[in-house]
Structure 1
């Protein structure tokens, strides 16, 4: 599987992601749609960060946004606060150009001439940012104001990262735990501890984990966190990878004792099971008829349940009962819980929280069995990893049972014949 892996030990920001993606092989020309339609230009340069050669990306505002002294105030680097960086010693703040509401940003992005998948990714990232800001400030999503990430240069960070990811054309993105830094940071609303409230909100919605340090600076910004929350799976360590491209994206902090860079590696990883986000619902019941319990698989599947288990148990006062456990997607949890309550009469359904499961890719093949001159069709399920390595072949029971009824053959014989045809 073609995999892009980020090393998050020095955090991530929008400019760092742009630099890392370019350094790992993305085409600079992929950024043209943004430069063609927004008053910005991507300035790409090579800089030194504690002996590491890294790619630096600055977003320059157009002449209309040039400062009175004639210099470009392209201070978008979303490592917050003012700080000098690289050999040019430009001063950076968090965003320039007009700030916008979430609804205005959506309208702007929808109006850009972008590939459909890129536009969808960018909008999903802004929705993450909007939901985080709305939660922090107690506002409605559409009315939420982006003070830092609604400016032209910050929008260029997010849309640009989506364009470069699309150009790399990887199948999977992972990141190791992301360092947040430490200390405090001055933002438009006041001074906040690191990680900032928006970063914490975004991390709650992400698959990856946070870690503090290693310096008292803001290393993980809302923009960087939101991009990676949308595109990347979490990994405790870098995956097994046959690396064929790598590079470093430079951050704004030029530290004395460690390179402030985001490393990206691209290569082929071994075949794996697919990560499937789930939540688990369960309830205890002691007065539900067996017929109702037996029908739960069908009933709950209608509203999104992926799997239903009914386990005998002993309840209070030694009464016999059952634990009903349901696996579903987080988005379906409320609907499934309601159907479970309606079907069983339970007064409460527990949710263990969103997690994930590892699932095989599934394909179905229909084979024709010849029995005494007659042809019968049986569907066979094939389970494999991402490389196509097959590790299970299983005939569908209902199809096999129908053939057994028609021919007098044992069901097990029908299933074995069908499975053997697929394997061969």
Structure 2
């Protein structure tokens, strides 16, 4: 299995993801459809981050008339990198949801870390890529389709503030593979729902702010194109650092992570951690991309590395290279490794009603599975052993729920371990019974290579159909599984 792993201990943003994917071997020429559709260009070059050569990606406006594409008054963006690094602060602040402040780490920040710097904050420009283990090499040193750097201005915030339907329409109008369109629109839906939730508005009416501008669209669609080019079977990420401190927004100062980032993280499979520095390290765009494409792992998985690379962020810290690492290789098992803890307790006075309700109440609290076994207690009294599988981050909540539901005086924890699980997808079987159509959900289990080894119909759906039709429950389940298996058969 070809596996892509992100190591986000210094956060993630759209431009960092672009840089990491190019550095890990993705071909930047696949970005051409975005450049054609938006009149932007990707400037890809190498920078030095605390002794680590990393790939930096800037989204620049194409200068089509020989002047500044934003009109007069913006000559500062055509200065040299060294001059820009001295630090003009952007006057762009957030609208209150955290989607604008520090949208891309590669825009930099002032000492208070409440505004972004415009310009290219690269610590260095030249140098060939020096990452070991690359299985193929693309010449992307200072790649920008033969345009002079001084003919461009940064695309940061450029373009209209689009609604979600407008963003979808724009993406669908690009000359993109169908899978890239699907991934990009799904990522923008995550961003749109997060912004709508924060503001209490409707998704279709909510205007994206900077995440709907040209550079953010270039980030999202660009990452999807590069991922498609890498052609990996699975993407995972270790816990992502969000940073620490506060961020200034138009409605006040908020703790990091900003509201929009936190809302996106709620939808993700992976976890976050604070620190290691006082700065905003995880942006809404970076969070949304990873929420859609990546599964969470607690530690870097076992893998035979074939390529690796580093995407540069805009912050510079004395003790922490601000980079996002990407590792590509063959590895992982055909099943998914899921970090777990096992809780258990002995009960000798629980009623059948209480025991029967534990499946629902403990799963509502975060339990992954609940098993109740008969047991013989002291003095030969009949009792039960309750075993609960739970993720490490949910242990305290589930243990407390188990205690208050059962009245137990003690709960044992077996420590963090792991279990191997199948990939699970849910398909809908439509059954025609006596001229009426009925839907039954079927759970499909497969390994990491996509080989299906089990299908099972959901009992509650089958029971409902059986009640309405007079068929046996097991007959409804058999027909549903057969229907899904037939649909999945490529012959």
Q: What is the TM-score of this pair, normalised by structure 2?
A: 0.56
Give yes or no for contact 2:31–2:226 (8 Å, CA) kept in 1: yes
Aligned position for 1:59: 59
1:126 maps to what in 2? 188
Equivalent residue number for residue 46 of structure 2: 46
Structure number with higher strand proportion:
1
Is 1:231 paired with 2:231?
no
Matches within 5 A, 1:2-401: 2-63=2-63, 65-69=69-73, 71=75, 73=77, 78-79=104-105, 81-83=115-117, 85-87=121-123, 95-187=157-249, 189-274=251-336, 358-360=420-422, 385-386=447-448
Question: Take 2:229 and 2:271, find their aligned partners in 1: how far apart are those partners?
Answer: 27
User: Contact 2:103–2:210 at 8 Å: present in 1 too?
Assistant: no
Q: Whole-Å Cα distance in 1 between the matches of residues 172 and 446 of structure 2? A: 38
Contact 1:176–1:234 (CA under 8 A) maintained in structure 2: yes
Superposition deviation, residue 161 in structure 1: 0.3
Whole-angstrom CA distance in 2 between matches of 1:77 and 1:187: 12
Cα drift, residue 141 of structure 1: 0.8
CA distance in 2, matches of 1:244, 1:86: 27
How many residue pairs get matched?
322
Alpha-carbon distance, 1:360 to partner? 3.8
Q: 1:220, CA displacement in angstroms?
A: 0.3
* Superposition deviation, residue 133 in structure 1: 0.7
Post-superposition offset of 1:187: 4.0
How far has the Cα of 1:258 moved from its partner?
1.7
Please give the alpha-carbon distance, in whole angstroms, between the structure 1 residues aligned to 2:40 and 2:155: 16
Q: Is the 8 A contact 2:191 2:264 kept in 1?
A: yes
Higher alpha-carbon deviation: 76-85 or 124-133:
76-85
Q: Report the Cα distance in structure 2 between the residues aligned to 1:264 and 1:43, rounded to whole angstroms.
A: 20
Aligned 8 A contact 2:313 2:323 in 1: yes
SS of the aligned residue for 1:44 comes to strand
Decide whether aligned partners of structure 1 residues 58 and 187 sit closer, same or farther in structure 2, where only a CA change above 3 A counts: farther
DSSP-derived class of the 2:226 partner: helix
Asked if 1 retains the 8 angstrom alpha-carbon contact of 2:104 and 2:283, the reply is yes
Once residues 361 and 178 of structure 1 are traced to their aligned partners in structure 2, the CA distance between those partners, rounded to angstroms, is 23
Give CA deviations for 1:36-56 in whole Å, capped at 9, x if unaligned. Answer: 111211000111111110000
Q: 1:285 Cα deviation (Å)?
A: 8.0
- Contact kept, 8 Å, 1:20 with 1:263, in 2: the verdict is yes
- The answer to whether the 8 Å contact 2:59/2:156 transfers is no
Question: Shift of residue 148 of structure 1?
Answer: 1.3
State the superposition RMSD in angstroms: 4.4
The answer for unaligned runs of 5 or more in structure 1 is 277-283, 287-306, 314-322, 326-355, 363-382, 394-424
1:408 equivalent in structure 2: none
Give distance in 2, aligned partners of 1:96 and 1:361.
Answer: 41
**3-state DSSP of counterpart to 1:22:** helix
Q: Against the structure 1 CA distance between its residues 388 and 211, is the aligned structure 2 distance closer, same or farther, given a 3 Å change threshold?
A: closer
* Paired residues of 1:245 and 1:265 also in contact (CA < 8 A): yes
Cα shift at 1:308? 12
Contact 1:54 1:249 in 2 (8 A): yes
For residues 270 and 182 of structure 1, do their structure 2 counterparts lie closer, same or farther at Cα, with a shift above 3 Å needed? Answer: closer
| 1:334-363 CA distance string (max 9 Å, x none) | xxxxxxxxxxxxxxxxxxxxxx9853479x
Residue 375 of structure 1 corresponds to which residue in structure 2?
none
The offset of 1:107, in angstroms, is 1.7
Task: Output the TM-score relative to the length of structure 1.
Answer: 0.65
SS across alignment from 1:5: strand
Checking the alignment, whether the CA contact within 8 Å between 2:242 and 2:257 is kept in structure 1 is yes
Q: Deviations over 1:220-246 (max 9, x none)?
A: 000000000000011111100100100
Q: What does the per-residue CA deviation read over 1:258-282, in whole Å, with 9 as the maximum and x for residues that have no partner? A: 2110000100013231479xxxxxx
Asked if 1 retains the 8 angstrom alpha-carbon contact of 2:46 and 2:124, the reply is: no
3-state SS of paired residue (2:44)? strand
